[in-house]
Structure 1
Amino acid sequence: MIIIAILFILIAVLNIIYPAFGWYLRYGWMVKGDSEPSDAYLLMSRISGIIVLIVFLFVFLPML
């Protein structure tokens, strides 16, 4: 359970610090040529990463 928690935290932090990485894994490989994620996508990805991390810390971390 602790390994899953650490992995979850690492993925959330990666999404906060470098949200374009998730875009490249999900959509970037499908696009030929130069294509970048929009600023709105990057912002929403960071905000969702922060929210998920906060919820995880307050809900699941006390159970460990």
Structure 2
Amino acid sequence: MEDYSDRGLISTIALLTEGQTRRHQKGDRMAILRIEDLSGSTEAVVFRVATSGSATTSRLMHG
């Protein structure tokens, strides 16, 4: 993923091999995931983000 750090948003198909949920400092839930594909594996953190209106979405941060 380092090769793409300056290119904006990317998409991938990966296998979820591990997952944990935790609460961050504000008390909201987050997920810490281990994902892998044919080129390797990485840890990803998913935060829940409030959007306008009542809908929410998730934001993925790679590590």
TM-score range, shorter chain: under 0.3
Greater fraction of residues in helix:
1
- Between structure 1 and structure 2, the one with the greater Rg is 1
Greater fraction of residues in strand:
2
**Larger relative contact order, structure 1 or 2 (CA cutoff 8 Å, min sep 6):** 1
